Amino acid sequence: MKMTKSLCVIFLFIALNYTITEADGIKTYHNKNIPADEKLEIKIKELFTIDSEDEKLNDSSRTINSIYTIHVDYDGNIYVLDNTRSNIKKFDKNGKFIKSIGRKGQGPGEFGFCITAEIMNEEIVCNDYDAQKLVVFDKDGNFKRNMIMDKGVPQIYEMLNNKKILSNFNFWEVIEDEVYTTTTIILCDSIFENRNDTLRYVRMKTLRNSEDDRIYLSRNDINEYLIDVYDLNGNLLHTISKSYIKVKYTPKEIEGINKFIKDYSGDPEAPNTKLVYKKSISDLRVDKYDRLWVDSSLAPKKEAENEEFRGYSFDIFKDGVYQNRINIGFPEGYYPAIFRNGKIYAYNKDLSSIKVFDY
């Protein structure tokens, strides 16, 4: 099939801080580093903490050894995947411990190396990389079934408004002693069936817009700052870009990457990384006001006014337009992982602790 590229570009709007262009019916928001809202402020209020241990509760199954991921259902229940103990800790919306789900092994309701435990269609779905299967529980923790994944186990997956599932499958290859990852994005009508493999990126970061059901995918790029926005059928709606100058890793960051490579591979002689520049975008979030939060390499961590806090900086967008870069005073070591039910759920891996915030 011969493909042609349209040269017809319509300039729809020009403002001081951004320009909107349209090509083949797709709008692109070209943002400058000029904030639309110079007075933008986002304040957080801590609601409660889930510590690694509860001294008042004489129950060893409550102890969190190592937080790998956390998930929250629409009732506010919190699910903590403890990778070291190969189980899931369930807490209610106020942080009260309910029960431990699953255990290490190969039998029914057991799993090995798991990195995601997502809530999907009122079920808890865990990806067991060791056994190449998905282990499914109901939300009360009762084992329901195993799903053998002949085509590979998805690394990350997310239920989109109880309608569709977005997931990614990683494929690894070594080129000139450097390890590269290719990620295929899969959009499914049900649990990994009726697959639509049309969304393909090297790196995927995805979020569901709380009101309009949007899929946000950031490009794996060191030179450009680009985010594509899709609907739940995989149709490209628009693209968001922002002025960007590529940023080098610091020597300390390179040292950390090399240590991770050696620790992860188990080979102290593993070759060091050849990375020089950071990816422009490392993470995305959407809040209850339908604002897009972008964790960019140009948004470095910096100390808040209170010395007890070390915040994170995010680029904030609304309707495709850059609003401002703001610093959020999360306690040191706590990174905001989940935005759901109007709250922010942040966890500290070193302390195996979770804090929940209103904002």
Percent above pLDDT 90 for the chain: 40
SS3 sequence of the chain: CCCCCCCCEEEEEECCCEEEEEECCEEEEEECCCCCCCCCCCCCEEEEEECCCCCCCCCHHHCCCCEEEEEECCCCCEEEEECCCCEEEEECCCCCEEEEECEECCCCCEECCEEEEEEECCEEEEEECCCCEEEEEECCCCEEEEEECCCCCCCEEEEECCCEEEEEEEEEEEECCEEEEEEEEEEECECCECCEEEEEECCCCCCECCCCCCEEEECCCCCCEEEEEECCCCCEEEEEEECCCCCECCHHHHHHHHHHHHHHHCCCCCCCCCCCECCCEEEEEECCCCEEEEEECCCCCEECCCCCEEEEEEEEEECCEEEEEEEECCECCCEEEEEECCEEEEEECCCCEEEEEEC
What digits encode the pLDDT tens for the residues 105-143?
Answer: 888 998 888 888 888 888 899 888 888 888 999 999 999
Q: Which residue has the higher pLDDT, 47 or 231?
A: 47
What digits encode the pLDDT tens for the residues 3-55?
Answer: 344 455 555 566 679 999 999 899 999 999 999 999 999 999 999 999 999 98
Mean pLDDT, residues 349-354: 93
Q: Where are the domains of the chain?
A: 56-244+333-358
Architecture of domain 56-244+333-358: 6 Propeller (2.120)
Give the contacts of 55 (CB within 8 A, at least 6 positions apart): none
Q: How far is CA 135 from CA 106, 111, 310, 332, in A?
A: 10, 7, 38, 34
What is the token pair recorded at 28? Answer: 């692109």
pTM: 0.82
pLDDT of residue 302: 46
Residues pairing with 26 in the sheet: 23
How far apart are the C-alpha atoms of 292 and 279, rounded to whole Å? 18
Q: Are 216 and 200 in contact (CB under 8 A)?
A: no
User: What is the bridge-based pairing of β-strands 110-111 and 103-104?
Assistant: parallel
Query: 288-313: string of b/e by CB count within 10 Å (b at 16+)?
Result: eeebbbbbbbbbeeeebeeeeebbbe
pLDDT of residue 274: 86
Mean pLDDT, residues 152-174: 69
pLDDT of residue 63: 93
Q: In the β-sheet with 236-242, what is the strand arrangement from edge to edge?
A: 9-14, 18-23, 26-31, 236-242, 225-230, 215-218
How far apart are the C-alpha atoms of 229 and 11, rounded to whole Å? 20
Provide the pLDDT confidence category of residue 306 given band limits of 50, 70 and 90: very low
At residue 148, does pLDDT exceed 90? no
At residue 209, does pLDDT exceed 90? no
What is the token pair recorded at 31? Answer: 């943002």
Provide the pLDDT confidence category of residue 271 given band limits of 50, 70 and 90: confident
At residue 304, does pLDDT exceed 60? no
pLDDT of residue 318: 96
Q: Which residue has the higher pLDDT, 264 or 92?
A: 92
What is the token pair recorded at 340? Answer: 């759901």
User: Could you count the other beta carbons within 10 Å of the beta carbon of residue 168?
Assistant: 21
At residue 289, does pLDDT exceed 80? yes
User: What is the bridge-based pairing of β-strands 26-31 and 236-242?
Assistant: parallel
- Provide the CA 55 distance to its chain's centre, in angstroms: 32
Q: Which residue has the higher pLDDT, 223 or 307?
A: 223
pLDDT of residue 307: 43
Q: Per mean pLDDT, which range of 166-170, 258-262, 354-358 is the poorest?
A: 166-170
What is the residue whose two structure tokens read 């590529």?
Answer: 246
How far apart are the C-alpha atoms of 96 and 6, rounded to whole Å? 57
